[in-house]
Amino acid sequence: MADGDKELVALFEGLDTPSVSDAMDKLGLPGQCFGIAPLDDYTQTVVGPAFTVKYVPATTPPGTVGDFIDDVAEGDVVVIDNDGRTDCTVWGDIMTQYAGAHRFAGTVIDGVCRDVAKALGDGYPMFTRGRFMRTGKDRVQVEAVNVTISVGQARVGPRDIVVADANGVIVVPRERAREVAKLAREIEGVEHQIREEIARGKSLKEAREALGYHNLQRRR
């Protein structure tokens, strides 16, 4: 991972997708990936720059399926746009093994995966529309890598910052990453104060009003 990527990823250390989502809402930025769910209830947040992949229906003869994986760097999140297809997969256990061995941060698919026992057993983070056993070979092919794609209605550009956890996936535009991370930390700080006030005996209403809870996510 390049130094610039490492710097941006570090900004999101310790944050979760709800706080990042609230910050994006306040800034008027889209980025939440609708319908993309974690394969497991991950306790850690995945953060990394997006390595984007665009799939299309196969031609005759069909093109390649997974050869792009050799170009993905350690720490990257592979983000695949398969147009939301759930009738064939674009990720299986061999790719999971490779991704784990090369320390990818995780994989996000607007589509489905298979061989999920490998990903679950290895603890490799996967975020998809579901699981299905039918291969994508001869059904889909890679059209392009590191281009702008769409995943769960969210725009994903190459090297945008992906944040994913048990709540789902959100994509932060690279050029706004510092601003989003700073605001997300401020929001988390206020929510932490609210929890402390509740622990001291204040009502939820009192704590929220005192700390301006209802303005946290409102657009500036």
* pLDDT tens digits, one per residue of 22-39: 999 999 999 999 999 999
Cβ count within 10 A of residue 66: 17
pLDDT confidence bin for 220, thresholds 50/70/90: low
DSSP 43-82: SS-EEEEEEEEEEEE--SS---SSGGGGGPPTT-EEEEE-
Write down the pLDDT at residue 202.
75
Residue with the bigger pLDDT between 148 and 189: it is: 148
The DSSP 8-state label assigned to residue 34 in this structure reads T
Residue 120 predicted with pLDDT over 80: yes
pLDDT confidence bin for 205, thresholds 50/70/90: confident
CA-to-CA distance for 159 and 9, rounded, in angstroms? 11
What pTM value is reported for the model?
Answer: 0.93
